[in-house]
Structure 1
């Protein structure tokens, strides 16, 4: 079943990307950006509130608003999705055009008004499978397509993360990461080197990069800095360490293996 779903996703993405240039009716933007945010219960309620508030503050910050006008069209499209286990993905703010301060503040206001979910499980992969198709049929044609994944643990449920990531990257989507490493690893599927896991197993595509958060006091500024890099017309192309090393540094199935071990014990 998973293989069939993956092949269908690849076919849809490949066809849509081949046709998107000709869709003159679509609104042209500099960037289509999905903010895919982890709301699994490994983060406590206070941390999740700070994470949500970080995105709200970012879209009200002048640095982000200024970045919006840096591209040829002077506008982007953004959606905000929360994800947790394999069966939980929820669109909090659907695709919204942001072309200046008023629209950016409106996006922040919609985000501030929405309740924050808390669900079990961590399936980065199923989150990607959910948001990938939302680029199609949204009435928007972006010069770049980016998925911004934030989370505090490795994929441990659903399909393997590379199974979901690779077709998106092959279709031209860039996946960036915001690994949140505030707490000392202690849960059954927690790992010390989450940043390396994100580099080797989650991010990919043109100019892919990550911003690591190790201090809760820096969460809001990290979110803002990352958004500015993603929105900029010519984003900084940070080389992944995994591209310079001959061997994989981490098992991309480590979350699933830790979960299996926990269930056996």
Structure 2
């Protein structure tokens, strides 16, 4: 009888702890799978994300606040009207949760998408995903891309949609050059794309653009980007400025 009561008490305590749990950040990652991304580059992108989630420093950042996990979702986008969710919202409470996300990423199969780059549509899709997590402290949307938007709603307008008002949008840009490309040409391409992202895509508190020299460099760039995002929330939440100053168009 005493043992049964103890088990019941432990179960109730565990349930209450989960119910009281706080989501410190909702993080949605949008991967570019438009016509400029071939099968090998798609695989490098998905595998690069999986490996970034396995980096010890990234795992430590995800798990830095016990009782206040990060919720993670991953989707892919292109130029058609069918962005696809790869990983639904997952609360990251342990390394096992991160391992489950990595395993799910590695079982994904590439599907055909339109040839264009509808970045504004991708941003709206990410905003709709984030709206499913109304209880989180902070909302972050990541857009990976290797080119400018060339169809659909204009991202420079979409980023100030009401649905994205409280969302920080960051970017991860990738050069289309190969491993053998001239470094100066790669730098010029990334400079151009970074200016575009600053002018049309990113916004919010601490928003930034991370750069990858090519898709083979995606793992390194994604690792750096995740660390910046997760550490900003862990360390800087109490020092954040008033929300009214975050989303003012420049």
TM-score, normalised relative to structure 1:
0.72
Structure 1 position 148, deviation (Å): 0.6
Rounded Cα–Cα distance in structure 1 between residues aligned with 2:219 and 2:96:
21
Equivalent residue number for residue 33 of structure 1: 27
Residues 24-79 of structure 1 deviation map (CA, whole Å, 9 limit, x = unaligned): x7852111000011001202211111111111111122111100122364410011
Residues 63-113 of structure 1 deviation map (CA, whole Å, 9 limit, x = unaligned): 111001223644100110100014120111111111121101111111111
Larger radius of gyration: 2
Rounded Cα–Cα distance in structure 2 between residues aligned with 1:51 and 1:63:
20
Structure 1 position 234, deviation (Å): 3.0
Rounded Cα–Cα distance in structure 1 between residues aligned with 2:41 and 2:193:
17
2:217 is aligned with 1:218: yes
Equivalent residue number for residue 177 of structure 1: 171
Rounded Cα–Cα distance in structure 2 between residues aligned with 1:149 and 1:26:
31
Tell me, which stretches of 5 or more residues in structure 2 are unaligned? 1-18, 182-188, 240-249
Structure 1 position 118, deviation (Å): 4.0
Rounded Cα–Cα distance in structure 2 between residues aligned with 1:174 and 1:125:
15
Equivalent residue number for residue 196 of structure 1: 195
Rounded Cα–Cα distance in structure 2 between residues aligned with 1:94 and 1:109:
13
2:120 is aligned with 1:121: no
Residues 165-197 of structure 1 deviation map (CA, whole Å, 9 limit, x = unaligned): 11258621000000111427xxxxx99711111
CA RMSD of aligned residues (A): 2.6
Equivalent residue number for residue 52 of structure 1: 46
Whether the aligned pair in 1 keeps the contact of 2:66 and 2:93 (CA below 8 Å) is no
SS at match of 2:57: helix
Whether the aligned pair in 2 keeps the contact of 1:84 and 1:121 (CA below 8 Å) is yes
Whether the aligned pair in 1 keeps the contact of 2:142 and 2:170 (CA below 8 Å) is yes
SS at match of 2:135: strand
SS at match of 1:142: coil
Residues 217-236 of structure 1 deviation map (CA, whole Å, 9 limit, x = unaligned): 42211111111111121369
Rounded Cα–Cα distance in structure 2 between residues aligned with 1:131 and 1:209:
17
Rounded Cα–Cα distance in structure 2 between residues aligned with 1:170 and 1:92:
21
Equivalent residue number for residue 5 of structure 1: none
Equivalent residue number for residue 131 of structure 2: 136
Tell me, which stretches of 5 or more residues in structure 1 are unaligned? 1-24, 185-189, 238-247, 249-265
TM-score, normalised relative to structure 2:
0.76
Distance 1:148 1:135, change over 3 A: same
